Amino acid sequence: MDPRPAALRALSMPRSAIREIMVLAASRPDVVHLEVGEPDFGTPDHIVARAVAALREGWTRYTPNPGILPLRERIAARFAARLGRAIAVDRVVATTGAVGALYTAVNLVADVGDEVLIPDPGWPNYHSMVHLAGAVPVHYAQPAAIGYLPDPDRIAHQITPRTKAILYNTPGNPTGVVFPREIVAALAGLAEKHGLYLIADEVYEDIVFEGAHVSAASFGLDDRVFVVSGASKSYAMTGWRVGFLLCPPALGPLAAILQEPVTSHTAAVSQVAAEAALAGPQDCVAAARETFRRRRDIVLDILGNTGLLAAPPSGAFYSLVGIGDRPADSMAFAKALLIEKGVATVPGSTFGPSAARTVRIAFTTDDRSLRTGLERLRDQVLG
Ligand SMILES: Cc1ncc(COP(=O)(O)O)c(C=O)c1O
């Protein structure tokens, strides 16, 4: 239980090592960037063109808190098409990035002192946002030994009377792992059995190379499931800040109210741009996926036979790479790799205790640089 005001809780939030590496990388010449967690190409032209026109049309003002209706209708239609059933618009909120959707969902379900189960390894913001809400982040394992998948039976033993939600992420950052249907079904089963919420971070849902993405909302359970997605990764729109949140029917209106004092809504022009992204041609999504698939194949080509990958990435654009049994921890290793070989990666410890003997790579750079960076990384670990 942490009764301190949010500002004081923020001071004790673990800070991301990603920033430390980025600052160090920015101070050096000719760095191969394998640390950046966003697509390296620009937003498709037709989306930018629509946004420019929208500004001239006067999309420069406040909008309703949950977003403009045409965008919410597009988001609801997108969920409906993927789930194969109707989704009511008032369950859908346009948020300030997927991060805004996650923050809203966590604050809707977790009170001070409640527990929220989060993945280890997992995106570090889960820990910070649960902590900031005054709730207690409790790690569940996604062990390398079982391909960075969660074990629902083990999670069941971590559920206490204070547990409010299980937060999970597929396709995964930092693992690149895509959960098979039976894992998602088992997590939904836990939520149902124990009366918990499931907060599913599906922001990488369009970047899957093998297998199929299975949404948490595929199993009914509408009263217990939040689905988080967004425009950032699917349409190379990270800077526009548009997320999509699907809420349980009773909580949609509350989600809109909760945004009011925090962000009110995401920028009007970004909402119009996201509407254009969803309404327009989707070949840009497929083209981006193929680019990441090609680069993923380069990762497998260079690291696949080294034993350094506990699980080959099958989605998103990340992988964890083992750093061997050298004494240096992952931060010291990442710094040495940057200074000695000019390759920037993220220390695995950022993603939780279990990833302390790894670094995370992102294949968000051109093929040639990627090859160079991976070869240097391999040689640093094995050499
Ligand atoms: C797993 C995961 N969830 C959510 C987000 C946030 O996405 P957005 O930029 O739309 O807020 C990220 C961004 O890197 C992420 O990796």
Residue 317 beta carbon below 6 angstroms from any ligand 1 atom: no
CA distances from 120 to 50, 125, 186, 289, 349 (A): 40, 12, 18, 26, 10
Task: Give a yes or no: residue 327 inside a domain.
Answer: yes
Residue 162 lies in a domain: yes
pLDDT in single tens digits along all 383 residues of the chain: 455 667 777 777 666 678 889 889 999 989 999 998 899 999 999 999 999 999 999 999 999 999 999 999 999 999 999 999 999 999 999 999 999 999 999 999 999 999 999 999 999 999 999 999 999 999 999 999 999 999 999 999 999 999 999 999 999 999 999 999 999 999 999 999 999 999 999 999 999 999 999 999 999 999 999 999 999 999 999 999 999 999 999 999 999 999 999 999 999 999 999 999 999 999 999 999 999 999 999 999 999 999 999 899 999 999 999 998 877 799 999 999 999 999 999 999 999 999 999 999 999 999 999 999 999 999 999 98
The pLDDT of residue 325 is: 85
Rounded distance from Cα 243 to ligand 1 centre (Å): 9
Q: In the prediction, which pLDDT does 59 show?
A: 98
Residue 250 placed within a domain: yes
| 1 domain-assigned | no
Nearest ligand 1 atom to the CA of 122 is: 1
| 95 and 53 within one domain | yes
Q: Using CA atoms, how far apart are residues 31 and 90, in angstroms rounded to an integer?
A: 47
Distance 194 CA to ligand 1 centre (A): 28
pLDDT at position 15 is: 63
Q: In the numeric block, which tokens belong to residue 4?
A: 């301190």
The verdict on the CB of residue 98 being under 6 Å from ligand 1 is: yes
Same-domain pairing of 72 and 205: yes
| 75 and 96 assigned to the same domain | yes
pLDDT at residue 19, as a whole number: 80
CATH number at residue 98: 3.40.640.10
Q: 93 - beta bridge partners?
A: 245
Same domain? For 113 and 194 the reply is yes
Confirm or reject: Cβ of 169 under 6 Å from ligand 1: yes
Residues 337 and 260 grouped into a single domain: no
Q: Is the pTM value of this prediction over 0.85?
A: yes
pLDDT of 326 reads 77
- Domain-terminating residue out of 279, 313, 337: 279
371: CATH: 3.90.1150.10
pLDDT of residue 2: 55
Number of domains in the chain: 2
The last residue of a domain, from among 227, 258, 279: 279
Atom of ligand 1 nearest to the CA of 100: 11
Same domain, 36 and 165: no
**Do 288 and 300 reside in the same domain of the chain?**
yes
CA of 234 to the centre of ligand 1 (A): 11
Mark which of 209, 244, 279 sits at the end of a domain.
279
Domain that holds residue 196: 45-279
190 with 287, same domain: the answer is: no
351 and 266 share a domain?
no
94 CA to centre of ligand 1 in angstroms = 15
Please check whether residues 71 and 201 belong to one and the same domain: yes
The pLDDT of residue 328: 77
The minimum-distance atom of ligand 1 relative to the CA of 230 is 10
Separation of CA 34 and ligand 1 centre (Å): 17
> Do 184 and 69 share a domain, yes or no?
yes
CA of 121 to the centre of ligand 1 (A): 15
> What pLDDT score does 3 carry?
56
Measured distance CA(278)–CA(71) in Å, rounded: 8
Q: Ligand 1 centroid vs 162 CA: distance in angstroms?
A: 27
Q: Which residues contact 296 (CB under 8 A, 6 or more apart)?
A: 176, 209, 313, 317, 363
Task: Report phi then psi at 107, rounded to 5.
Answer: -75, -20
State whether the beta carbon of 201 lies less than 6 angstroms from ligand 1. Answer: yes
- Binding site membership of 99 for ligand 1 (Cβ less than 6 Å): yes
* pLDDT score recorded for residue 104: 97
